[in-house]
Chains A and B, each alone.
Chain A
Amino acid sequence: MQYAFNSSRFALRGWIGHGGVVYDDADSALYEVSESAFQLLSLLKDRVNHSPDQSGQTTAQTAAHLAGLLIGETPEDTDIALVSSVLDDLRTMGVVTCRSA
């Protein structure tokens, strides 16, 4: 499963310790995102150019991979579940796109 930040429609800004926001070109709306969602989105935005393709992985594997990158160590099941849940929410909003192999 390959997740990517939908930069053609959304813009992301944030500051470590100060939270983040997502801007939607469609209606000029601005949404606050949690610190963890901001870090996850930054990762997805950044890894488009810097990370190997995970399109051969399952959703759970991708979530585990991203959780590991976020926390810098082997993630526990709760970490993976949290990342998976945030990814689902962001995908529903259209902020991230998802492509399977």
Chain B
Amino acid sequence: MTPRLVQAVLPDALSAALCSSGLYLRMDPFVVHVRSAIPIVADGIKRLYAGHACWTEGGQFADFHVSVRRKWRPSRPLCLFEMDGQQPFTPLAYGEAYAFLEWGLNWCITSYCHNWITLHAAVLERDGRAVILPAPPGSGKSTLCAALMLDGWRLLSDEMALLDPRTGLLTASPRPISLKNASIDIMRRRAPSAVMGPVALDTMKGTVCHMQVSADSTARARELATPAWIIFPRYVAGAPLTLSARAKADALLHLHRNSFNHHVHGRQGFETLADVVERCDVYDLHYSDLDEALACFDRLSA
């Protein structure tokens, strides 16, 4: 069966597939079988995965079989995320259904894909060299990541680095960027033509809205990248931009702590992670102005 781009499938046919046998959606390096009768899930997929290949017929191989479905409650509608019939999370508000799909997929990858060392970090690439951006929530990682992508960097992931434990190379898994709160309007102003998904209000993370990945990032999703920099970004309101070297031992500790599955990879995983840190330039970046931060990345990659 030949895949079609999501944007080439009639909206009604896409919704019908999601409601019945499901949609097989290519999200390199995975194929995900999604089922959902919730309209904002269909809406989010149509908008954010428009340039992705999909199949509306059954019988495809899929790495994950997931669904987001309504949970009936007389007082307040909720939604459930399921993977292979399991419900790994407590239900969320109905309006969070699309975000729930994205968060659930993150969980699927970090829980089951142990052929990579998975790190909680954004990854982007330019001219074959990748920058790994590990940062805790609230550090401005996704905002910076979105701005870099809009500035021509190829997005490998907004959320997790997939590091091959044998080669130390990074596999791309470009999916919509999760913007939160003020960064949603910041990105809307910077890129009025950027495609945004459904807005989820009052989530645990505040207001959440996903932004479509650049066409270049989607088209080049199967290209591996070599880590060249590890940069720990931190948005500090009003602060001047500073880029300072960070101790490699500290960077390695941080990456190890932010790995979802280092225990699976044991010593080989540790050695690979240490090799990556050894090869990369490691910095702390404090910024308050996105344009200054972008200029800093331009200088680094020149």
Contacts and interface: CB of A to CB of B under 8 A. Distances in A.
B256 interface: yes
B267 A23 contact: yes
Contact of B252 (A13, A28, A38): A13
Interface in B46-99: none
A18 B266 contact: no
A28 B252 CA distance: 13
A15 B248 contact: yes
A43 interface: no
A25 B266 contact: yes
Contacts of B250: 18-19, 32
B213 to A, nearest CB: 33
Interface residue range, chain A: 10 to 19
A19 B262 contact: no
A30 B256 contact: yes
Contacts, number: 47
Interface stretch (B2-10, B16-24, B174-182, B270-278): B270-278
A25 B247 CA distance: 23
A14 interface: yes
Nearest to B268: A11
B186 interface: no
B157 to A, nearest CB: 23
Contacts of A18: 247-250
Contacts of A20: 249
B194 interface: no
Interface string A1-39: 000000000010111011111010101101011000010
Interface of A: 11, 13-15, 17-21, 23, 25, 27-28, 30, 32-33, 38
Interface of B: 247-250, 252-253, 256-257, 262-263, 266-267, 270-271, 274, 278
22 contacts: A11-B267, A13-B252, A13-B278, A14-B249, A15-B278, A18-B247, A18-B249, A19-B247, A19-B250, A21-B253, A21-B274, A23-B267, A25-B266, A25-B267, A28-B263, A28-B266, A30-B252, A30-B253, A30-B257, A30-B270, A32-B250, A38-B249
